């Protein structure tokens, strides 16, 4: 039913003219997060390490599920510098976030979403997405060991992917990690125009539907800024993260496959 016929899409992203742009999602999430046990490493509070409010970097650890999850809970994410120098963790200041309520898209992108040109799935091809994100001509921080660690996180129900399809071809997507009611969006890729943007629209819609309270995009760039990303002080981010960690998003619920009317 169209908005003109009286339906309001409760979770759908809207364009700059206020028109809803619902994405039909095929949700394949197989299981809720499984226990990973404690990490062998301790992630210190970045605010206690910072001098003058700068970004904080740590070295060491591993990419086991427990370590990665504990890092996110403490406000860090992995940021390898190379295959040989990969065990780096970052807690930037300021921190990039994507506001769930204020996220809007251009009219042109809204037309693309509403056209149904692309099909979108959730958690249907995680490994294909993360490997596509690593295929960058300028080089990548997504090392082989990081890929292996995140594929295991996905198998255990902690990491998630949004896949954008044109027919049978995977043409775009993004992946990240869900902890509590926080989703840490890690990286995206696009093989045709607008595919990664459609993945972001689908991510926001799905996160709204399942109870995500905080979307972390780590470091703001030109692309995410145009899509509504903002920077906030790390201390503010850590306070919002603490609140989100007390909640739990329903990644495995499955009932929010389409933006809901209501």
pLDDT of residue 69: 97
What is the pLDDT confidence band of residue 260, given thresholds at 50, 70 and 90? Answer: very low
* Distances 193 to 7, 85, 135, 217, 240 between C-alpha atoms, Å: 30, 33, 17, 21, 33
- The contacts of residue 30 (CB under 8 Å, 6+ apart) are 123, 157, 252
pTM: 0.92
Higher pLDDT among residues 252 and 22, named by residue: 22
| Helices and strands (DSSP H and E) totals, the chain | 8, 14
Q: What does the alpha-carbon distance between residue 17 and residue 105 come to, in Å, rounded to a whole number? A: 9
pLDDT of residue 255: 42
What is the pLDDT confidence band of residue 228, given thresholds at 50, 70 and 90? Answer: confident
Mean pLDDT of 5-20: 78
Give me the residues paired with residue 159 across strands: 177
What is the pLDDT confidence band of residue 116, given thresholds at 50, 70 and 90? Answer: very high
């Amino acid at each position: 039913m169209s908005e003109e016929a009286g339906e309001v899409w409760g979770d759908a992203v809207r364009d700059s003219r206020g028109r809803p742009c619902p994405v039909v999602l095929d949700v394949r999430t197989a299981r809720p997060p499984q226990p990973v046990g404690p990490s062998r490493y301790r992630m210190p509070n970045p605010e206690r390490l910072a001098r003058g409010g700068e970004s904080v970097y740590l070295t060491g650890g591993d990419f086991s599920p427990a370590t990665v999850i504990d890092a996110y809970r403490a406000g860090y994410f992995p940021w390898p510098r190379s295959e040989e120098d990969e065990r780096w963790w970052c807690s930037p200041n300021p921190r990039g976030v994507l506001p769930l309520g204020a996220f809007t898209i251009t009219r042109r992108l809204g037309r693309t979403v509403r056209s149904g040109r692309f099909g979108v799935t959730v958690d249907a091809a995680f490994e294909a997405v993360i490997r596509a994100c690593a295929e960058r001509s300028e080089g990548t921080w997504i090392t082989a060991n990081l890929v292996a660690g995140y594929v295991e996180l996905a198998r255990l129900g902690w990491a998630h992917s949004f896949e954008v399809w044109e027919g049978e071809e995977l043409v775009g997507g993004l992946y990240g990690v869900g902890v509590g009611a926080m989703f840490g969006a890690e990286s995206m890729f696009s093989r045709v125009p607008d595919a990664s943007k459609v993945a972001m629209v689908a991510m926001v819609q799905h996160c709204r539907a399942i109870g995500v309270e905080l979307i972390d995009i780590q470091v703001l760039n030109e692309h995410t800024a145009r899509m509504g990303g903002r920077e906030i002080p790390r201390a503010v981010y850590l306070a919002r993260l603490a609140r989100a960690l007390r909640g739990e998003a329903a990644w495995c619920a499955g009932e929010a496959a389409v933006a809901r009317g209501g």
